[in-house]
Amino acid sequence: MTAKCILVVDNELYIQEVVQIALETINNWRVVTASSGAEGLLKAEKERPDAILLDMMMPDMDGATTFQKLQANPVTQTIPVLLLTAKIQTADQKRYQAMGVHSTIAKPFDPLQLPTQIADVLGWQL
Partner 1 sequence: MTVKTGFPDRSTDVFLVRSQKYAHNWSSDSLSDSIGPNVGRPMMRILVVEDDQPTAETLTTLLNQCSYAVETVADGEAAADLVNAFEYDLLLLDVMLPKVDGITLCRQLRNQGHTMPILLLTGKGDSHDKAVGLDAGADDYVVKPFDLEELEARIRALLRRGHLHTSPILEWGRLQLDPSSTQVSYHQQLLALTPKEYALLELLMRNPRRVFSCGMLLEHLWTYEDMPGEEAVRTHIKGLRHKLRDADAPADMIETVYGIGYRLKPLAELEAETPSFQQENQAAIANIWQRYHARIRQQVQALEQASVAFQTHQGHLNADQQQQAEQEAHTLAGALGMFGIHAGTHLARQIEQLLHQPQPLGTEDIGEFQHQVETLRQTIEAHGPVSPTDTLDSLGTLPSLLVIDADQDWIADLTDQARYWDWTVQTVKDLDAAHRSLTQDVPQVILMDSAVADCKDQTLAFLEQVTHHTPPIPVLFYGLPEGLHSRLEVARLGGKAFLEKPIAPMQVLQEVERVLHQSQSITAKVMIVDDDPSLLQLLPPLLEPWGFKVSTLADSRLFWQTLVAVSPDLLILDIEMPHVGGMDLCQIVRNDAYWHNLPIIFLTAHTEAETVNQIFALGADDFVSKPVVGPELVVRLVNRLERMQLSQQLWQVDTLTKAYKRQPAIARLDQMMKRAQDLQQPLSLALVKVTNLRQINAEFDLETGDSILRQVGYTLGQGCGKDDVVARWSSNEFLMGLQDVQSMEAEDHVQHLCQDCLQAHALTHAAVPMHLDLGVVQYPEAGTTLSALYKAADCHRMGRQVDD
What is the binding site for partner 1 (CB under 8 A)? Answer: 1, 12-15, 17-18, 21-22, 25-26, 28, 57, 59, 84-87, 107-112
Nearest to 52 by CA among 81, 22, 32, 15: 81
Smallest distance, partner 1 to C-beta of residue 82, A: 14
Measured between alpha carbons, how far is 4 from 51 in angstroms, rounded to an integer? 8
Nearest to 67 by CA among 99, 32, 108, 111: 99
Nearer Cβ to partner 1, position 21 or 42? 21
Nearer Cβ to partner 1, position 7 or 84? 84
Measured between alpha carbons, how far is 96 from 5 in angstroms, rounded to an integer? 23
Smallest distance, partner 1 to C-beta of residue 63, A: 12
Nearer Cβ to partner 1, position 38 or 57? 57
